Amino acid sequence: MNIFTLFIDALPLLLDGLKVTLGLTLISIIFGTIMGVFLSLGKVYGNKYIRWPIIVFIELIRGTPLLVQLFILYFGLPPYGIRLSALTVAAIGFSINSGAYTAEYLRGSIQSIESNQLRAAYSIGMTKWQGIYQVVLPQALRRVIPSWTNEVIYLLKYTSLAYIIGAHELMAKAKFFASRNYEFFKVYVITALIYLVLVFALTRFFSWVEEKYKIPGFEYQH
């Protein structure tokens, strides 16, 4: 079977899987980013009772494999009565994981905003939180766009792990299709191409976004 006919045959199945993959990526990046904002603000501006738990949490998540985190949620919870679907576990696991990494990127970005910005905010009577929200965060969020883009692409790629716990995303569909005709290699080449196209499109899109929201003269340091 040549690769083109294979591709056409596989398409419906793969598109089904692709929907799930994209959905997972979207949910994870949204919740992950929200988490990341709160965690990073807590880490930079919080007192020690807020900072230390956050630091421990971030180190735990960043120091352990994503797969193990998924296993803990998927296999570790049922004995205690919490039985979640593979997809739900995947969404939760990816969100938490992304949250921790995003928090670190954002922390770096926040700390790269010069302290005179916050000081100037104080000088016109803003409170600490007004200053953070009106002055530091808008700039930090723009500066973090390159790292954040990386994170989206990372998530897109690593949603493939959900296959291992049985979620029906792109990888799972590919494997299912391949197991019917034993053309494993060719099918995975097709799958690889699909990811390639997605990543390319996403990268282009984010470049455009970055360009659109650029502050003239105020480029982030790569």
For position 119 contacting another protein by CB under 8 A, the verdict is yes
Q: Judged by CB under 8 A, which of 122, 129, 205, 208 binds another protein?
A: 122
Q: Judged by CB under 8 A, which of 14, 160, 168, 177 binds another protein?
A: 160
Q: Judged by CB under 8 A, which of 30, 83, 129, 185 binds another protein?
A: 185
Angle (CA) 168 171 174, round 5° = 95
Measured from the CB of residue 49, what is the shortest distance to another protein in angstroms? 21
Q: Read off the DSSP letter of residue 132.
A: I
Measured from the CB of residue 117, what is the shortest distance to another protein in angstroms? 6
Give dist(CA 159, CA 157) in Å, integer.
6
For position 166 contacting another protein by CB under 8 A, the verdict is no
- The dihedral through the CA atoms of 51, 139, 157, 166 has a sign that is positive
For position 59 contacting another protein by CB under 8 A, the verdict is yes
**Closer Cβ to another protein, 47 or 116, answer by number:** 116
Give dist(CA 204, CA 48) in Å, integer.
41
For position 34 contacting another protein by CB under 8 A, the verdict is no
For position 101 contacting another protein by CB under 8 A, the verdict is yes
For position 121 contacting another protein by CB under 8 A, the verdict is yes
Give dist(CA 75, CA 192) in Å, integer.
29
Give dist(CA 64, CA 97) in Å, integer.
10
- Longest CA–CA separation in the chain, Å: 72
Q: Read off the DSSP letter of residue 113.
A: S
For position 123 contacting another protein by CB under 8 A, the verdict is yes
SS percent in the chain: helix, strand, coil, step 5: 85, 0, 15
Stretch that binds another protein, among 2-10, 28-36, 46-54, 211-219 (CB under 8 A): 211-219
Measured from the CB of residue 166, what is the shortest distance to another protein in angstroms? 12
Give dist(CA 24, CA 162) in Å, integer.
9
For position 206 contacting another protein by CB under 8 A, the verdict is no
Output the six-digit token pair for 119. Answer: 């000081």
Give dist(CA 142, CA 153) in Å, integer.
18
For position 154 contacting another protein by CB under 8 A, the verdict is yes
Give dist(CA 132, CA 136) in Å, integer.
5
Binding site for another protein (CB under 8 A): 59-60, 62-69, 71-72, 75-80, 101, 105, 116-117, 119-127, 130, 134-135, 138-139, 142, 146-147, 150-151, 153-154, 157-158, 160-161, 163-164, 171, 184-185, 188-189, 191-192, 195-196, 199-200, 215-218, 221
